[in-house]
Structure formats: structure tokens, C-alpha cells
Amino acid sequence: MLTTIQPFNHLFTIMNTNQNQKQLLDDIHANIAGDYYDDSIANNPIKKVFHHYRFKNIGEMLNKSSQNLLDIGCAGGTFTNELSKHTDAKITAIDISPQAIEYASRQYPHIDFQVHDAAEEYFPFPDNSFETVTMLETLEHVLNPVEILQDIKRVVKDDGEVIILVPSENWHFRLGWEIWTRLPGNIGGAAWDESHVQRFDGHKLRHLMEFIGYEILEERWFNLGLLVAVKARPKYPNINY
């Protein structure tokens, strides 16, 4: 397993990396059905509205002229497919869940879906491979966010763009999360309880990316302030490769 680097601990929370936590996260993702997001949007009006504005805002931030795009943590491909509506780029998408990738590959054959565990090994792509890299509501689920952001900086082109989306972790997000993860059935989110192992409240994601060597291009809050997205490009090369 990769070793987690922990600079600037006063700026953001990094949970202790251990095999038990990793196994818990793997089990959570293994229990999420491949069609989870497609089903949620089709059958839950609240989630449909929530994801509509999620798609809308990220679509507006996307570089429409990008030729190739990597989407990290694609789950069943719902969000990746929405990205494809905003760009003609060739899209590669990766996720830890084989069942999610199997579902996504059937549903959205125009996208290249691959199984990959970013917490265990570096991305299987050469340096400077992509003009755009997206990681949408995934960084909060990983134990090694610093290394992942560094490896994203490796695979994106020097003049490329990176878009990271995370929950804002403000007080009303945390209140909503506590309620939502205790509701039953399709309306609730019990499956995701204990899945957030990082908290990027305030400007912590921006500060972390700046520290790692990104130039921030945009920081955007939306969905009533529940989500925050940062768009950036590489500014300095990685120092630990």
C-alpha cells in the first residue's frame, strides 16, 4: 500500500492509514450496486434535482476543447456519461469496483471503463497523458489524498486542467449527512455511512492543492453550499517522484 504523506495537518484532516480502514472502505464500495446512481436519479426526485445541479456546474467548469479526459472514481458511470455530453474528448474512467465497471461498460460503451484501486498503486498511465482529469466526490473516500493528487498532477498535461469535487463538510452538510445516512431504502444513504474519511471544509481542498503545487483557476460552491469544486492546473512539478 502507498504510504500516506501528511503535511499541513492543521489545514486538513488525514485519518490514520491502516488495513482495517481500507477493508471497511472496500466493503462499502463492494456493496454499492453498479446501477446505484442511475436508479437513484430515476426513482428519487430529491436526488434527481441534487444530481442535476451537480452535473450542470461541473459541465460549466469543464474544458470543452479537451481531447482526452480521465475520470477517477466513476462508480457506475452515471456522472462520467454526463461529462461526455459536455465534451468530445476521448474519456477513460476508473473505479475500484468490478461490478460498477461491468455495469458502466454495458450502459455507456462509448467510454473506456477500467478497474483500478488508486489507494493501492499509481495510476496505470504515462506522464502527461490527459488534458483533463476529474475526480468527483471521491477524494473524501480515500486514505491517501495527498499521493492521489500528486499522481493526478503526473498524468495530466502541464497545460491541462484538474477538477476535484468534494462535500463542503459545513455544518448543514454534516447535519444533512447524519440524517440522510440513517434513512431507510432508496430515500436514504445508509450504504455510505462511515465512508467519508477526509473532511475538506472551508478552503482546505484549495489550500491542499496549492501546497502540492497546483495553480487554482476556480473554486465554486453549489447545491446550497453542500458541494465545493476546485479547478486547477499543475504549477510546480512533484518533488517526491
Rounded Cα gap, residues 192 and 141, in angstroms: 10
Residue 175's pLDDT band (cuts 50, 70, 90) = confident
pTM of the predicted model, to two decimals? 0.85
Q: What is the pLDDT of residue 5?
A: 43
Q: Tens of pLDDT along 122-163?
A: 999 999 999 999 999 989 888 889 999 999 999 999 999 999
Within a domain: 6: no
Report whether pLDDT(188) > 90: no
Pairing of strands 227-234, 214-222: antiparallel
Quick one: which H or E segment has residue 227? strand 227-234
Name the DSSP letter for residue 202: T
CATH number of 96's domain = 3.40.50.150
Within a domain: 18: no
- The 3-state DSSP class for residue 231 equals strand
Domain count, the chain: 1
Side by side, the strands of the sheet bearing 227-234 are 112-115, 90-95, 68-72, 130-136, 156-167, 227-234, 214-222
Within a domain: 200: yes
Q: Tens of pLDDT along 65-89?
A: 899 999 999 999 999 999 999 999 9
8 Å CB contact between 146 and 120: no
Mean pLDDT of 97-119: 94
Within a domain: 9: no
Within a domain: 186: yes
Rounded Cα gap, residues 94 and 218, in angstroms: 25
For residue 102, the enclosing domain spans 35-234
Within a domain: 29: no
* Residue listed under C-alpha cell 479547478: 231
